[in-house]
Structure 1
Amino acid sequence: MGSSVVDLDLRLGVVLLALTAVAAVSGRLSGLGEDRAVLVTAVRATVQLAVVSAVLLVVVDFLWLSAAFVLLMVTVATVTAAGRTTDLPLRSAGALARLAATALPVLGGAAPIVALVLVSGTVPLRGEAVIPIAGILVGGAMTATSLAGRRLREELAQRHGEVEAALALGLPPRDAVLLVARPVAGTALVPPLDQTRTVGLVTLPGAFVGVLLGGGNPLEAGAAQLLVLIGLLAAEVLAVWAVTELVARGRLLPVPR
């Protein structure tokens, strides 16, 4: 098998088809109705990864192209998180304002952590290092933004009366919303907290395995994984904080005033 975790041969294609079939058939038989979504997602992921892999063969050799690729990641993450948070299509009215607001937690979560690991020299300033680290952190910030934003939207819709009651008692709008928003937003941090708490005991995540497969020893693999996990946790906490504040200030979701 060499240094790769999988062999690029016919067996891989057969296994991928089988896994897709299992997921799609299960989605149909279970009554979840997600069989079509599974098929579309699998095809889309295959095409996207094929194109991205081809692009990265060129991009990683040039730092400025790597930076442009990271910017593309941020753009896609922002569009995705905005849709999940507001449940509005991209072409609906006010899209630019929503995207600008959503970009704040995505960038605010990922950018400081990426900057810290690069400036400190912990991660070398090379495309093959910058793109994976930035991608992991941007993805984490996107997920945290989506989870927190969606949860806040649902909770505020159900408990708008509590916000209005707080307003009637004289609380400023931001404080009234935060009474409901803060406890709920924190639930978006459950996945990264659980992942970090159980690392090595339940799973060996990708960074750990990747360093081992690249020839590093277990101590180097553990250090790389720890950097990724703590960095992700920091990025996601920052993203959730930013989303909560934006919602409380009426920048992302309509709330009682």
Structure 2
Amino acid sequence: MALLAAGILWRARVPLGWEPVIAVVRAGIQLALLAVILSVMMTELGWVFLWLGVMLAIAVFTSARRIGRSARVVLGVALALTAGVAAAIGTAFVSGAVDLGPQYLLAVGGIIIGNSMNVTTLSARRLQEQLADHRGEVEGWLALGATNRQATARFRALASKLSLIPSIDQTKTTGLVTLPGAFTGAVFAGASPLEAGLFQLVVLAGILLSASLASIIINEVLGSPSQVPAAVE
């Protein structure tokens, strides 16, 4: 299927090369490694926190690589993801919605980190595109005496809105268009459909909380540039 995807993209002259195949091969290797690691970590809460930290660091690197590799971007992404993920995971477990067990912490944390990474990248890229496309408007506001934050306020809000639409739509259509992984995994593990549904609901709410915070924070950090970007590659 990965080869077929690469062939279709090549035929359509989409400049991605072998990236679909490489992505699937990498995923297979990483999942095999993860299976070995989890067999050791699943019994110790401390090991799970350590692995979540590794996942978060990789998410920061991956997102920053897509946005820009400056120190400001890296620190902004790290702050956005850490704050969003910590708020979502903390709320889920402190409220008692999910038991604080190694298997639950790893499942909830991993899903939230992955989704928050995607939203953070998309939000920052959207902001960069908005600022580049509306460069004249931003410079006009600055010429009238507005601060950098005031001149870019509309575009920060719009970028956050656009980046969150896929997550909101996915939540709205859960069970109708998509069969979520947390739900099916819980059912296969022996949970009742009701328990699995409640677990999935907590995960979906956690994703929205974390993604919302991450999107707003990254746009606050990057939304007052000293120089408006001319174009986004």
TM over 0.5: yes
Aligned pairs for 1:29-40 within 5 A? 29-40=11-22
Residue matched to 1:64 = 46
Equivalent residue letter for 2:89: V
Q: Compute the displacement of 1:111 (Å).
A: 0.7
TM-score, L = length of structure 2: 0.91
Q: Distance in 1 between matches of 2:3 and 2:36?
A: 26
Contact persistence 2:87–2:209 (CA under 8 A)? no
Residue matched to 2:90 = 115
Contact persistence 1:62–1:127 (CA under 8 A)? yes
Q: Compute the displacement of 1:35 (Å).
A: 4.1
Over residues 75-112 of structure 1, what are the superposed CA-to-partner deviations in whole Å (9 max), with x where a residue is unaligned? 011111111122x4xxxxx44x4322211111121111
Q: Distance in 2 between matches of 1:221 and 1:48?
A: 26
Over residues 10-33 of structure 1, what are the superposed CA-to-partner deviations in whole Å (9 max), with x where a residue is unaligned? xxxxxxxxx222222222223224
RMSD in angstroms over aligned alpha carbons?
A: 1.7
Runs of 4+ aligned residues of structure 1 deviating over 3 Å after TM superposition are 253-256
Q: Distance in 2 between matches of 1:20 and 1:173?
A: 44
Greater relative contact order (Cα < 8 A, sep 6+): 2
TM-score, L = length of structure 1: 0.83
Contact persistence 1:156–1:181 (CA under 8 A)? no
Q: Compute the displacement of 1:193 (Å).
A: 0.8
Aligned residues: 229
The structure 2 residue matched to 1:101, chosen from 63, 76, 79, is 76
Q: Distance in 2 between matches of 1:58 and 1:242?
A: 35
Task: Report sequence identity in percent.
Answer: 35
Is 2:118 aligned against 1:158?
no
Q: Distance in 1 between matches of 2:33 and 2:201?
A: 30
Residue matched to 1:213 = 188
Residue matched to 1:74 = 56
What are the ranges of 5 or more consecutive residues in structure 1 without an aligned counterpart?
Answer: 1-18, 89-93
Is 2:143 aligned against 1:168?
yes
Contact persistence 2:119–2:163 (CA under 8 A)? yes
Aligned pairs for 1:1-257 within 5 A? 19-86=1-68, 88=69, 94-95=70-71, 97-250=72-225, 254-255=227-228
Residue matched to 1:13 = none
What are the ranges of 5 or more consecutive residues in structure 2 without an aligned counterpart?
Answer: none
Question: Which structure has the bigger radius of gyration?
Answer: 1
